[in-house]
Amino acid sequence: MKDLRPALVQAQQGHLYRRRRVLDSPQQPRLVVEGRPLLSFCSNDYLGLAADPRVSKAFHRGLEHWGSGSGSAHLVSGHSRAHHALEEELADFTGRERALLFSSGYLANLAVVTSLCGRGDTVIQDKLDHASLIDAARLSGAGLKRYAHNDMAAARQRLAAARGEVLLAVDGVFSMDGDLAPLPELADLASQHGAWLMVDDAHGLGVLGAGGRGSLAHFGLDADHAPVLMGTLGKAFGTAGAFVAGSEALIETLIQKARSYIFTTALPAALAEATRASLEILRAEEWRRERLASLVARFRRGAAEMGFKLSASATPVQPLIAGRAQTALAWSRLLEEQGILVTAIRPPTVPKGSARLRITFSAAHEDRDLDQLLAALESLKP
């Protein structure tokens, strides 16, 4: 039996060891972490809905009606009227024929890739795609071909050399850099080569585009341009789970073939009711996206004036690149000493040499919160 301890010691010595923090408060900008109050700038709760009272009330009503568990997989006896209604509302929200719920974005990506591709086929991905897309491609048995981040010439070469069924899978918003994929160009390439275009819009839905419809809407694209859309519910929606939206044929194919759908217990129906409430708020309250844009613009101005090098991101994800993991950890500690929580992101989550602080914003942040962050960043000035 292999001794696991040396690898753990090596991770600690390389400043790559990961530790969990225990929260004593709801998910919101001002947290209590292990008994200490901290101002958080590292959550994906972009619209501030994770602790919204209206969403919580819908969850409670769902618990009273449906109970706490679904009891089984969707295809056995776990698919409730609440699940069905949420799927229909998500399909309408994304402008697609159908939507299918999953228990996580990881499972949703695994379902799509393994259902559409197998041995003899090709999956093409940006090198900064979500880990779940990479793992899904490997598990599918298809050939995985990756191209340098947002390099359209390299993507074109990969498509030209692809064999079998071809799936071009890309993040709409890249989770660690905050920049957008060039979706119009990718849609054209996919169309030219007869490939599926799949957009993982975990960090775009709710945040970008008219009504929060995501990165595709931001570029004026629809289902004809990107037949497969994956979205998560644990970020801007403020709940948990994920969905895939697409054509009737796509969704029925996933229901019949996707092992991560067929063999997974459905999310609690009460959670579906909570998500229906958050979707209604997300669609109606444009001020949340306007607030985010205002916070991001002001942060970028302030950070640039301090001399920080910023990525090409206009989204709530604003990385400050430290380079070494040790530096990123030191920056995180300095901010925490001033009452601010920003987690250091290190390899293998990001490429070696690009450890960073991943600063994220929420519509629930107040002006005084941003003031406090900018004042604290003075201690990290390059």
Is 365 a known ligand-binding residue?
no
Is 232 a known ligand-binding residue?
yes
Note the helical H segments in 67-151.
Answer: 81-94, 105-116, 131-140
Is 175 a known ligand-binding residue?
yes
Answer positive or negative: Cα dihedral of 42, 43, 48, 50: negative
Is 36 a known ligand-binding residue?
no
Which residues make Cβ contacts (< 8 Å) with residue 93, sequence separation at least 6?
211, 213, 279, 283
Is 105 a known ligand-binding residue?
yes
Question: Is 175 designated active site?
Answer: yes
Angle of CA points 216, 54, 63, to nearest 5°: 105
Question: Is 84 designated active site?
Answer: no
Is 225 a known ligand-binding residue?
no
In contact, 110 and 132? CB cutoff 8 Å? yes
Query: Can you tell me the distance from the alpha carbon of 173 to that of 154, in angstroms, rounded to the nearest whole number?
Result: 19
Query: Can you tell me the distance from the alpha carbon of 293 to that of 288, in angstroms, rounded to the nearest whole number?
Result: 9
Is 349 a known ligand-binding residue?
yes
Is 46 a known ligand-binding residue?
no
Using only C-alpha atoms, the chain has a radius of gyration, in whole angstroms, of 21
Question: Is 203 designated active site?
Answer: yes
Distance, first Cα to last Cα, the chain: 47
**DSSP-assigned letter for residue 266:** P
Q: Which of 74, 83, 218, 235 does the annotation list as catalytic? A: 235
Chain centre to alpha carbon of residue 253 = 24
Q: At 144, which amino acid appears?
A: L
Q: Which residue has the tokens 């056995």?
A: 76
Query: Can you tell me the distance from the alpha carbon of 359 to that of 258, in angstroms, rounded to the nearest whole number?
Result: 35
Going by C-alpha positions, the residue among 327, 330, 347, 238 that lies closest to residue 285 is 238
Q: Which of 175, 260, 278, 354 does the annotation list as catalytic? A: 175
In contact, 135 and 151? CB cutoff 8 Å? no
Q: Which of 203, 218, 225, 365 does the annotation list as catalytic? A: 203
Catalytically active residues, by annotation: 175, 203, 235
The binding site for substrate consists of: 18, 130, 349
The binding site consists of: 18, 105-106, 130, 175, 203, 232, 349
The binding site for pyridoxal 5'-phosphate consists of: 105-106, 175, 203, 232
